[in-house]
Amino acid sequence: MGRCCFYTVGTLSLLLLVTSVTLLVARVFQKAVEQTIQKNIVLKNGTETFDYWETPPLPVYTQFYFFNVTNPEEILKGETPHVTEVGPYTYRSLDWWGTESCNMINGTDGDSFHPLITKDEILYVFPSDFCRSVYITFSGFENIQGLPALKYKLPAEILANTSENAGFCLPEGNCLGSGVLNVSICKNGAPIILSAPHFYQADEKFLSAIAGMHPNKDHHETFVDINPLTGIILRAAKRFQINVYVRKLDEFVETGNIQTLVFPVMYLNESVLIDKETADRLKAALNTTVIVTNIPYIIMALGVFFGLIFIGLVCRGQGSMDEGTPDERAPLIRT
Ligand SMILES: *[C@@H]1O[C@H](CO)[C@@H](O)[C@H](O)[C@H]1NC(C)=O
Ligand SMILES: *[C@@H]1O[C@H](CO)[C@@H](O)[C@H](O)[C@H]1NC(C)=O
Ligand SMILES: *[C@@H]1O[C@H](CO)[C@@H](O)[C@H](O)[C@H]1NC(C)=O
Ligand SMILES: *[C@@H]1O[C@H](CO)[C@@H](O)[C@H](O)[C@H]1NC(C)=O
Ligand SMILES: *[C@@H]1O[C@H](CO)[C@@H](O)[C@H](O)[C@H]1NC(C)=O
Ligand SMILES: *[C@@H]1O[C@H](CO)[C@@H](O)[C@H](O)[C@H]1NC(C)=O
């Protein structure tokens, strides 16, 4: 084994190790990937994101469920209304992103969520039919069509009877309770009260006032599963119920002895799920970023490999080195 080769291996190993550590510390590839994502996510005419925003690739389904009153005469006599859910009446709409999501996100004007989402973040959303900004919080990890996702949910606190929400009780101080929102002010004065379907997470009094309410977490909560690296929505369901505020009017005989209550009319299930083809394309793109961000580790592995060869050479060379020619044993620098 030539001395030249011996030193080359050692130097190479050291160089590779130093390079890999430098790249890792400076997060060069990580930053490059993040910058590329951020650049591509900007909503500019001509980018893929823009095309998606103009004509969303994911089908959005809207399901309507109505509450059919089964005892109308008895209600007028003051009895508990009895309702049964009818539906779903399903529609596929294609303009969901385009029309709504512009208003949807508080702070950004993107079509989905911003990229590089971490689970500690609180994401702000502005659903226009809600007439108020809301936020969603992290609730768990998911895997949608083989893609990693963070599940975000609308927390119960959003509609809870708390001091933070006191400003939403109109007129001032007139809180209806947890789980409902009086949106009359932005619906031309119509007595409309929003809630989760079947009064999910609402006060017991709303549930018990109507026979036929069966709140269920899986069917009635609102959630969104977001791919954290790209901010793309992989799956989501936005569900809310429209109720009318029914009040007994003494001066009107027609209203009979009807109770004053929050009466459910219908609820919506607006859902979206990434299709397999789009998921596969996204997966391929994400795999590339995984490879790119792992380049420093590959360099490091090579450095370790050459380092081992070097050590091997040192150990094997120990004996032979001592028996080298007098010339070889002589100091390198002679004066
Ligand atoms: C995007 O750009 C194309 C060509 O440059 C143009 O025809 C189109 O109208 C633009 N779209 C919007 C929404 O500005
Ligand atoms: C609603 O209820 C009425 C009376 O109970 C019944 O006749 C009718 O078929 C129901 N409608 C639907 C769509 O289920
Ligand atoms: C989102 O908007 C609400 C008002 O609608 C505001 O109170 C809140 O601070 C905003 N949050 C962010 C992060 O912009
Ligand atoms: C809302 O909370 C306040 C203070 O905790 C309480 O006094 C009030 O009765 C609650 N209102 C309803 C409708 O539950
Ligand atoms: C809902 O809000 C409107 C206007 O903001 C108010 O006039 C009405 O009394 C409220 N309804 C209830 C049931 O509190
Ligand atoms: C809402 O839509 C999703 C997706 O289509 C579906 O899985 C879910 O069962 C629906 N929920 C209800 C309550 O219909």
From first to last of its 335 residues, what are the pLDDT tens digits of the chain?
A: 577 788 888 899 999 999 999 988 888 887 887 777 766 655 566 666 556 555 555 567 778 899 999 988 888 888 888 999 998 887 666 533 223 332 333 433 334 677 778 888 888 877 777 777 788 899 999 999 999 999 999 999 989 998 888 888 878 788 899 999 988 888 888 899 999 999 999 999 999 999 999 999 999 999 989 888 888 888 888 899 999 998 877 766 666 677 778 999 999 998 888 888 878 888 887 888 888 888 889 999 999 999 998 888 888 876 555 555 555 555 555 55
Ligand 6 atom with the smallest distance to the CA of 61 is 5
Q: Name the closest ligand to CA 240.
A: 6
Enumerate residues 6+ apart whose C-beta is below 8 A from 166: 173, 175
Ligand 3 atom with the smallest distance to the CA of 107 is 14
Ligand 2 atom with the smallest distance to the CA of 66 is 13
Cis bond upstream, residue 56 (ω within 30): no
Q: Which pLDDT belongs to residue 196?
A: 95
- Which protein residue's CA is at the shortest distance from atom 9 of ligand 2? 68
Q: Is the CB of 78 under 6 A from ligand 3?
A: no
Q: Residues of 158-197 as b/e, b for ≥16 C-beta within 10 angstroms?
A: bbeeeeebeebeeeeeeebebbbbbbeeeeeeeebbbbbb
How many other CB atoms sit within 10 Å of the CB of residue 231? 21
Q: Name the closest ligand to CA 46.
A: 1
Distance (angstroms) between ligand 2 centre and the Cα of 183 equals 29
Q: Is the CB of 168 under 6 A from ligand 3?
A: no
Report yes or no: 43 and 226 within 8 Å, Cβ to Cβ: no
Binding pocket residue ranges, ligand 2, CB within 6 Å: 68, 70, 86
Q: Model pTM?
A: 0.74
Q: Is the CB of 133 under 6 A from ligand 3?
A: yes
